[in-house]
Amino acid sequence: MEINLTRVDQDYHFEARGAANVAINIDANPEIGGHNEGARPMELMLMGLGGCSAIDIISILKKQRQPIDSFDINIKAERQKVQEFNLFSTIHIHFKLGGQLDEDKVRRAIELSLEKYCSVAAILYKTATIKHSFEIV
C-alpha cells in the first residue's frame, strides 16, 4: 500500500492520494492555523472505521441475499490525553440500514465486521472501547 501527500498551502492543507488516485483533502483545526479545507487526521481514522465496517457488512449481507436499500453510519468518539497523544477512548457506531432485512443477519454481520474482519477496528480496539447499535428502517 502506498499513499502520497502533497502540501497545498503554506499551512496544514494537504492533498492525499492512494491506489485509486482519488484526492482526499486533509487540514488542521483553525485553532492551530488550519483553514477547514479538509478532514482532520483523526476524523479520517473514524471515516476509515465506518468505511471498513460498511464494506464488510455489505459483503456479508450480499452473500446472504439480504437486499440493502440504504445504509447510513453515524460515529461518535471521545478522546483522552495519554502522554502527549489525544487517543480515542470510546467510539460508538450507529448503523442505519434500509430494506427488507433480517434483523438477526444484520446483527451478526455487524458483529463479524467489528470483531473479526475490520482491520481498522482491530487497530482502534487497542486504545478504545468500541460499541455499536443499529436500526433497520
Question: For the segment 70-111, what is each residue's pLDDT rounded down to a tens digit?
Answer: 999 999 999 998 888 899 999 999 999 999 999 999 999 999
Mean pLDDT rounded to a whole number for the chain: 97
Q: Whole-angstrom Cα distance, residue 38 to residue 13?
A: 7
- Predicted local confidence at residue 84, as pLDDT: 83
Strands (E), 1-137: 4-7, 14-17, 24-26, 70-82, 85-98, 129-136
pLDDT score of 9 more than 90: yes
pLDDT score of 124 more than 90: yes
Confidence category of residue 65, pLDDT binned at 50, 70, 90: very high
pLDDT score of 69 more than 90: yes
Confidence category of residue 129, pLDDT binned at 50, 70, 90: very high
The arithmetic mean of pLDDT across residues 42-59, rounded, is: 98
Q: Whole-angstrom Cα distance, residue 114 to residue 91?
A: 12
Q: Whole-angstrom Cα distance, residue 8 to residue 112?
A: 39
Rg (CA), the chain: 17
* CATH number belonging to the domain at 41-136, selected among 3.40.50.11540, 1.10.150.120, 3.30.300.20, 3.40.50.2300: 3.30.300.20
Output the pTM of the full model. 0.93
- Predicted local confidence at residue 82, as pLDDT: 80
- Predicted local confidence at residue 120, as pLDDT: 97
